[in-house]
Every structure is written in C-alpha cells, then in structure tokens.
Structure 1
Amino acid sequence: MKYEKMCKEILTIIGQENIVDVFHCVTRLRFIAKDKEKVDLKKLGEVEGVLQVKIVGNQIQCIIGPHVGEVYEDLCKVGEFEQKPEIDEEVGEEKTEKKKITFNTFLEGLSSIFMPLISVFCAGGMIKCLSIILSSCGILADGSGTLTLLDAIGDAPFYFLPFMVAYTTAKRFKLNELLGLMVAGVLMYPTIMENAGSGINFIGIHITCYSYASTVIPTVLCVILMAYIYRFVDKLIPKNLSLVFTGMISFTVFMPLLLWIIAPLGNHVANVLSVFFETLFHVAGPLGGAVFTGVMPFLVMTGTHSTLDPIIIQNFAKTGMDYMFPAFFLNNFAVAGATIGAALRIKDKSIKAAAISNGGLGILGITEPALFGVCTKYKAALIGSVVGGAIGGALYMFFHVYSYAYAMPGIFSIASYADKNNNMLWMILCLAITFVVSFVIGFVMNKEEK
C-alpha cells in the first residue's frame, strides 16, 4: 500500500480504539474521536503527507489534498474500518452531539452534489478545447461531420446536466438514485420541453412549462423535496404495499406541484443569480475582478468557492462561456508563483522541494497542497497569492476575458480561451503578469529560513 506508513502513524497518534468513525471529503480525512483531548494535534500535523490538522465541531480533520481518496482507502485497510464512498454528515454525530445545520454543512452538501461531476465536466470541457483548437487552426472546417460529433460529445454533459445532478442529489439526500433520475426525466420530458413558454392544464391548475435542459437549481430543489416527500409517504403506506404505492402516490400527487411551483422558482432563482453576478462584474469592472480573484485563496481554503459551481456550470450550459472561471485560473497561477517564490528562500532542502512541488501543482490546477502546506505557514506566499491574484483579476476584467469551456483551470486548459479575436492572448498575458508579480512578492518578502 502506497500510504501504509502514513496511515499507521495517524492511527497511532489518534489511537485506533479512540476512533468512533472515519470518512473523507474532497481533501480531508475526517475522524470522529471518543476523546479529542487525548490526541496530540501538533504531532499529528507533523506526519508526512498531512498538510494541516483542524478541529471542526466533533471532528478531527486531517487536510491531505486531492489524493485523499487513495489515503482513505489505505487507512481503511490498515485500520480495518468500513469504507464509505462519500461524506455522510450523520455518521458518528449522534454519538457526540446533536446534529446542527450550519454553513459548513451547507457547503459540504453542495460539494457532495457537484464534486462527483467535475470529472465529467472536465472531460466535456477538454473535448470542447480540442474542438476549438481544430476549428481555429483550420484543421477541421465548421460544419464538418467530425467537428459536429466532437461538439456533440463535449456538449452532452451540459445538455443532460439535470440527469447527472439528479443522481448525485438523490444520493446525497438518501433517495433511490433511479427515482432521482425519474424527477429529471419529468423535467426533461419532450412534452414539457415542447411547451416551454406556454403551459399545461392539470386538474384545473395551469402549470407553466420551461426548458430545463442544462439547468441545475430546478433539478436540485425538486429532487431534495422529493426525497422528503417520498420518505413521508413511505411512512404512511404499509410495508407490504410500499413498493407499489409509495412511488405512485409521491409522483402522481406531488410531482405536478413541483412542476407548478418549485421548478419554475428554481429556474427564476438561477436566472436572478446569474444576472446579479454578471451585472456586478460589468458594473464593478476591474475592481470587481481584483476583489474576486484576490480573495479566491480564502474561498478555496474555506470551501466557499463551491457555492459558485451552480452559477458557473449554468453559464457554460446556457451561453457557452463564463466570466468567473478565469479568476480560478488566475488564482491558481498566483498561488503557484507565490509558493515557488517563497520556496526559493527556504533553507531546508526537503521543505523547499515539497513547496516547489506544491507550487508546480498549482500551475496544473491543484492549489490545496500549496495553500494548506505553504501559504498558511509562510505569510509571504499568502500575500503574494492575494496581491498577484488581485492584479490578474483586474487585468482580465479590463480585457473582458471569458472562458469558453469548463476545463480544469490549469495550464492545459488554455485552449478553452481561444476565440476568433484576442481572448486567449489577453488571458496568457494576464497569467504571465499574475505569476511574475506573485513570484516576486513571495521571494522578496519571505525572510524565513526554517
């Protein structure tokens, strides 16, 4: 096992008999311990591979990074724990304290819905990048069969977004995933789509129809409510009849109500949010870009950047471009530049090598190791990330840079900024300036040798 040594050290420090349960999220191992006071947090944070340790509520959280899934798998084998495929906020909580709905639980819920879809969006986005390159270079003519098929493959994840979101939402809220897909199927049914803009009469109720293709919020809201409705109905039906009648009653009685009220409300909320952010950026201009990109390291560290995923995904699905995604790309280069700059002033060779490696990951699109492993320990790296990102954010808004495909914001996704004008050229310039400014600040300001 690749992480066996690391896992054994963690279990020794926490105490295997002291662990009630263990699971993981996107970047963290999460332990629920019988007695947190028995754990030497400082020693735990010094384990090689653990970037940082935090106490959040009743949890001991070890920040590992994007490879946390592999570490968790090895940990379960070493400690003989039951392996769980996703975060379950209720696991172990009833043994320590009453479950509370907080902003953190909201973020974790949002993350559990959208994070599983990132690989699909990146696949579609990178195929769109390839399509853009082939078209821009004249290798494939517009309208050719090959280009048409590539566009269809790249666009598919966004057009059928309701089905994928329905699946992950149902999984998160403990509704049979196939019933979640059925909710999306109703929203995407041809009769509903064909009547978009008009309506359907259902026992005297006029249900206004919309096109829910490429939408996020209407599907999420409908599936969440259906999860509660289904469980409520299931409690009223005798167990020997539930298989036949629970689903029938839930969908016959309540799905029209969801179509009448909740789905249009979700559609309206999505449009309002999109217009709000777009107006804010266009009104604030470079100042808005500077503030947004400048605070991005803190958004990533606290996980609040996840709240923007529905808006960004819907922007790509609806218009084929987005004005917030460039900020994520620039933030990655700012963190990378500041981390590498600060690392060059570190005397310890092993720490220097790790810091430079973490900075390199930022260029590829992964910033958590640099943020938690370097920026939280070296103020120069954090300041460089913020200032460099702010300058880059102001520049990209000044040049009106847009992203044209949902591709992981790293160096290999630069093609997603190509258009028939100078969009990609301006983005490259913004990236270069961001990296240089961040690097210089990180290098000059870092006086620490240990």
Structure 2
Amino acid sequence: MSYEKLAKEIIQGVGGEKNVVSLVHCATRLRFVLKDNAKADKAKLEKTVGIITVKESGGQFQVVIGNTVPEVYSAIGDISGILKDSSKAEEKPQARRFGLGSLIDVISSIFAPLLGVMAGAGILKGLLLIAENFNWLEKTEPTYIILFAAADSLFYFLPVLLAVTTARKFGGNVFTAVTIAGALLYPSITALKDTEGPIDFFGIPVVMMSYSSTVIPIILSVIIMSKLEKLCNRYIHESVKNFITPLISLVIMLPLTLIVFGPFGVYVGNGIADALLAVFAFSPLLAGAILGAGWQLLVIFGVHWGLVPVFINNVAVYGKDSIKPPATASVFAQTGAALGVMLKTKNKKLKTLAGSATLSALFGITEPAVYGVTLPLKRPFIAGVIGGGVGGAIIGQAGTQAFASGAPGLLTLPIFYGPGGQGFPGLILGITTSFILSAVLTYILGFKDPVEEEEKGQEIVKSVIAPSGDRTADKLSVTALSPISGTIVSLEDVPDPAFSSEAMGKGIAIEPDSGRVVAPFDGTVTVAFKKKHALAVVSDEGAEILIHVGIDTVKLNGEFFSTHIQEGDRVKAGQLLLEFDLEQIRAAGYHTVTPVIVTNTLDYSDVLPLQNRQIREQEELMHIVAK
C-alpha cells in the first residue's frame, strides 16, 4: 500500500487541507476536527482502499485505518502542512460545539497521542510485576531499577506529557506549559507537602498535594494558561510579548494551580474513583457485566474517552484500577465473534477479512473486527455483546485489577498481574469465556452471508440478459433499458467528437420524442450536473452510464431542464430522473440528440447497443458484456 497515495485521498476526502483545524491519531484512527464537516466526502472515503470506516463522533471526523495509522499520519505530515497547523488555536470549526461532544473531543485529543507509549510502558511495568512476584528480579537490583524507571517515568511525569498535548489542543505555548508542569514536580515544591505547619503564598493558604501521575490539575492549568496567553498577546507590544507573556503566565499560573486547580483536580479525581469503587463494592458481578457488554458500544459512539482519565487517575491514586479489566472481556468477545464469522462464512473475501481482523483484535486493535465484520453483519456484534457481558461478570466477581495503563489485548495481559497474582486467573477465565462464547453464538445464530446475495444476483442477471441464444449464459453482464423514448442514432453520427469518437466510452444515442429521462436500471446516481443537462447512474453490478441530453446544452445554464434526483440517490429502473422542454431547446438552436455512454467501457469485454429503430422508455437498449 502507498501511504502517500492514501494520505492524498484522505486529505481530499475531508475537504482539503484548508478544511482541517487539527489532526491527532490514536491506535487505529485519524481524528480530524474540521471547519465544516459538510465539505467532507464520507461515502467516498469509506470506499477508499486502506480505510476501514469513517465515524463522526465527539466533535471529530474519525477515519478508521487500523494498525498502519502511524504511517498514514506521518505521510499526511510529509505532503501537507496539516500537522504543523494542528496547534493553531485561531482556527476553529464553523460551529463551536459545547456539551458532551466537545468534552469527548478535548479528552481524546489530549490522551490519544500518548496511548502507544503508555501501552508499551504499561506492558513493561506488568512484566516487572510478574518478575518480582516469581522472584526473578529483586527491587533493589540495578537491572530492576533501570527497567522500572523506563516503565514508570511516563506515569510519574504524566503532567509534563499532558501539558504538551493540552497546549497543542488549545493553542498554548508548549514550553510554558511544560515549565508549569515541571514546577509541580520540582523537588522543593514536592518537599513542601511534608512541611509541618501551614503553607501560604503572600498570605493565601496553599493546600499542598502530590502531583506525580495526576491528570486533572495540569489540564485545567494549561487550558487557562492558553486563554491568558491570548489575552496578553492582544495587549502587549510585539517587541516584548515573546518574553513578557511567558513571564506573566508563569507568575500567575503556577500559584493559581497550587492554590485552586491542584486541590480541585485532585479532589475531583479522588471523588470519581471513590464513586466507581463504591459501584463495584455494591455488586462487582453486575458492574463487570455492564462494562463487559457495553464497552464496545461506548467505543462506537466515542464516549469511552470519558473513562480514560479515570483509568489513569485510579492507577495514580490507588495503584490499581477495577474498571479496565471487565472492559477487556468486550475486546476478546468481539475477537471471538470475528472468528465465528471466519469459520462460518463461505465468502472468500469475508473469510480473509474476518481472519485478519481476528488476529489484530487479539492484540487490542478491534476496529477492523467491529467495523469491518461484526457490526455490518449485526448478529455477530450482538453475540459479542452477550459474550462480553458474561466474561465481564466473571472478571468483576473475581476482583481483577489493572496495575498499569494499556489497550486490552494479549500483549498487555501482564498489566493485570498484581501482587500474588490475585484476580489474574479470573481475568483469564473471563476473557476465554467471552472469546469462546461469542464465537459459538456467532456460529449458531448465523448471519446473512454476502455470498448468498452474490449468487442470487448472478442468477437473476444471467436469466434476464441471456435468453435469446446470442448471449452466453455463463457471463455476468448488465442490460441497460432505454432512458428516453425516441429514435436510435449511431454514436458515430452524433455531432460532437467527444462522443462520436468513443473517447468517453462506447454506447448509443437517441433522438428524443419526449422530454423525459428515466433510470436505465436499478442503481445509484453518481453525478447530477448543476446545469441539469446530464447525469450518471451506476448499476448495482457496477456499470456506469452517462446520459447527456443534447449537444452543448450546458450553455443553457439549466434553463428548460428540471431534475428530480440528487447525487447519491438510489433509483429504480424506470424512475423519473430528469425532464426537459424539447421544443424550447430546439428553438434555442441546440441539437437534442442524447448520447447514452458506458463510461467504464474498459471494465467490460463489449457494449452491444441496438441499432436504427424507434424505441420506447424501458425497452432493452444495450447489453454490457462482462469480461
């Protein structure tokens, strides 16, 4: 696959570089914020090779790529200025969003860039926990100390990393933001927490907290800092604002964070954690079942991002988290459902897709399985929800905990292995149950296998187009019915070389005797010209026909024409598409002979039109013979 080519198609599909406000990526998705979502061509992107699906959620236009998203993201940066411009706060979408969608957009933009390294660090931390429990390494050994520093530094200095991503999201000065975060972790500031007696800043009481691994305080601080910078830059002279603005930001924001945002953020985070722990304490089985069944639904709508800070905060505050383990059952359930599809389907293309999706989902990348396999087939997705609920209930009841962050998958199982391995067997039992149950349910419940529709469609087409003996029944072809009533004219007699030379494709022409154009077959309108003089329809089998009313009628600017369809409309054979005033067009001095062209002629072995006779709407006009 050419990542550069795919990057160009994506940029074009989202409405061009100028329509992009910002772009980040997570493990599988490009997450765009666009100025105008209406300028994006979602349907075209979904048909592009290399794209699994496209979602609009949480204020973002999300292009789901799969495992190769980092390469595509990098290619976009190489061929455009989108990544350079993603931190420009001056550019905003056309309609400013508030509420849940805006919140999800903020959270995902802040945390998505960190997920890859966070998963890697989490796996290493989990492996060290296993090594410690089995006495393979001692905490005092230099080897353990070095590896633990590599695993834990991300979490210890998390405020610094969040300062970077938050500043980029809100258009603040990244270096000022990092300086504020660094000050929160500065040794003398950390030491103040253990100081006896009250602490104040110019007489204002300061409640000291430990800011290592915290999430909310630095995010709130950098958001306000970004607003303060813009205010300062508006009024401070250009000659001095480059150092006066950071000075003001540091002097105001660090004390404000220590006095207000820090305690507020820590208390809020602790409150959320306590509330969720209370839910698990009430009924761990029920809480686990709800999370296991519902996690993929949250992912589909993008609202799972609201729980990401909670995961991280729980690990930071309590050293463990009870929410992530049941959600892991949902991942393995959809993996099992994809496997069930692979085992049951007779469609070779679907079998290959389901097989590769199963493999990637085992390692935590579920988008190909969900969007490419289980969700379109419906019943397998439902089987996955059921399997996830059962597995989540087992994991919740077992009291499994996560001791580090990371996307659920085979490689990240070590993050669930804590002291003594308590709860880990329950996790293994839960994910195994969810995987097997979902696969079995998918196989039993079944689904509408695409192979059945394809074979049925082939038989219908063969019986329609090959009854006369001069057609061969073993070829899948298309019959186009006449879209216009009139007299058939050979294409070479059309007074326009673009048509008569067959440069645009083979076909036929009709001299109309009425002002109507109807659909030549069941299909989709792919082009509806603004001047209304022409349109194109593609059949369900893929034959593309252009109907061009008259010669040079584009110059009429739509006068004497009226259209009854729009691009993208589904149409049935014989459905009225276009009307025109035949006599007025002729009176204006234009030829009304109407070419009917198969624009993708090269995809077929031949186009066989009827010749030299009168024809009525919906009579057979031409046979398009497949290769």
- Does TM-score exceed 0.5, indicating one fold? yes
2:623 match: none
Cα shift at 1:24: 4.3
Q: Secondary structure at the match of 2:408?
A: coil
1:443 match: 443
Q: Secondary structure at the match of 2:123?
A: helix
Whether the aligned pair in 2 keeps the contact of 1:338 and 1:439 (CA below 8 Å) is yes
Q: Sort the Cα spacing of 1:151 and 1:226 in 2 relative to 1 into closer, same or farther, 3 A.
A: same
**In structure 1, what is the Cα distance between the partners aligned to 2:247 and 2:77?**
40
Residue pairs, 1:67-78, within 5 angstroms? 67-74=68-75
Stretch moving more, 245-254 or 383-392: 245-254
2:189 match: 192
**In structure 2, what is the Cα distance between the partners aligned to 1:87 and 1:38?**
18
1:297 match: 296
1:257 match: 256
1:228 match: 227
Q: Secondary structure at the match of 2:239?
A: helix
**In structure 2, what is the Cα distance between the partners aligned to 1:417 and 1:34?**
42
1:359 match: 358
The match for 1:106 among 92, 103, 119 is: 103
Whether the aligned pair in 2 keeps the contact of 1:36 and 1:60 (CA below 8 Å) is no
Q: Sort the Cα spacing of 1:415 and 1:204 in 2 relative to 1 into closer, same or farther, 3 A.
A: closer
2:64 match: 63
Q: Secondary structure at the match of 1:322?
A: coil
After superposition, give the CA deviation of every residue in 1:220-246 in whole Å (9 maximum; x if it has no partner). 111111111122123222221213322
Whether the aligned pair in 2 keeps the contact of 1:20 and 1:92 (CA below 8 Å) is no
Q: Which amino acid aligns with 2:264?
A: L
Q: Sort the Cα spacing of 1:53 and 1:241 in 2 relative to 1 into closer, same or farther, 3 A.
A: closer
Cα shift at 1:287: 0.5
- Runs of 5+ consecutive residues of structure 2 not aligned to the other structure: 451-627
Q: Sort the Cα spacing of 1:58 and 1:188 in 2 relative to 1 into closer, same or farther, 3 A.
A: closer
- Runs of 5+ consecutive residues of structure 1 not aligned to the other structure: none
Q: Sort the Cα spacing of 1:212 and 1:30 in 2 relative to 1 into closer, same or farther, 3 A.
A: closer
Over the matched positions of the two proteins, sequence identity in percent amounts to 30
Q: Sort the Cα spacing of 1:149 and 1:225 in 2 relative to 1 into closer, same or farther, 3 A.
A: same
Q: Secondary structure at the match of 1:240?
A: coil
Task: Decide which structure has the larger Cα Rg and report it.
Answer: 2
1:337 match: 336
Cα shift at 1:254: 4.4
Cα shift at 1:181: 1.1
Q: Which amino acid aligns with 1:440?
A: V
**In structure 1, what is the Cα distance between the partners aligned to 2:302 and 2:373?**
18
Cα shift at 1:5: 5.8
Whether the aligned pair in 2 keeps the contact of 1:192 and 1:210 (CA below 8 Å) is no
**In structure 2, what is the Cα distance between the partners aligned to 1:263 and 1:38?**
40
TM-score by length of 1: 0.88
Q: Is 1:146 aligned to residue 143 of structure 2?
A: yes
Cα shift at 1:318: 3.0
Q: Secondary structure at the match of 2:199?
A: strand
Residue pairs, 1:171-182, within 5 angstroms? 171-182=168-179
TM-score by length of 2: 0.64
Between Structure 1 and Structure 2, which shows a larger proportion of helix residues?
A: 1
Whether the aligned pair in 1 keeps the contact of 2:326 and 2:393 (CA below 8 Å) is no
2:320 match: 321
1:430 match: 430
Q: Which amino acid aligns with 1:447?
A: F
Cα shift at 1:118: 1.7
Residue pairs, 1:16-415, within 5 angstroms? 20-22=18-20, 24-26=23-25, 27-28=29-30, 30=32, 36=38, 39=41, 42=43, 44-54=45-55, 62-74=63-75, 81-84=80-83, 97-196=94-193, 199-415=198-414
Stretch moving more, 51-60 or 165-174: 51-60
**In structure 2, what is the Cα distance between the partners aligned to 1:322 and 1:297?**
19
Cα shift at 1:64: 2.5
**In structure 2, what is the Cα distance between the partners aligned to 1:335 and 1:31?**
28
RMSD: 3.0
Stretch moving more, 137-146 or 53-62: 53-62
Cα shift at 1:345: 2.3
Stretch moving more, 163-172 or 148-157: 148-157
Cα shift at 1:273: 0.9
Stretch moving more, 296-305 or 195-204: 195-204
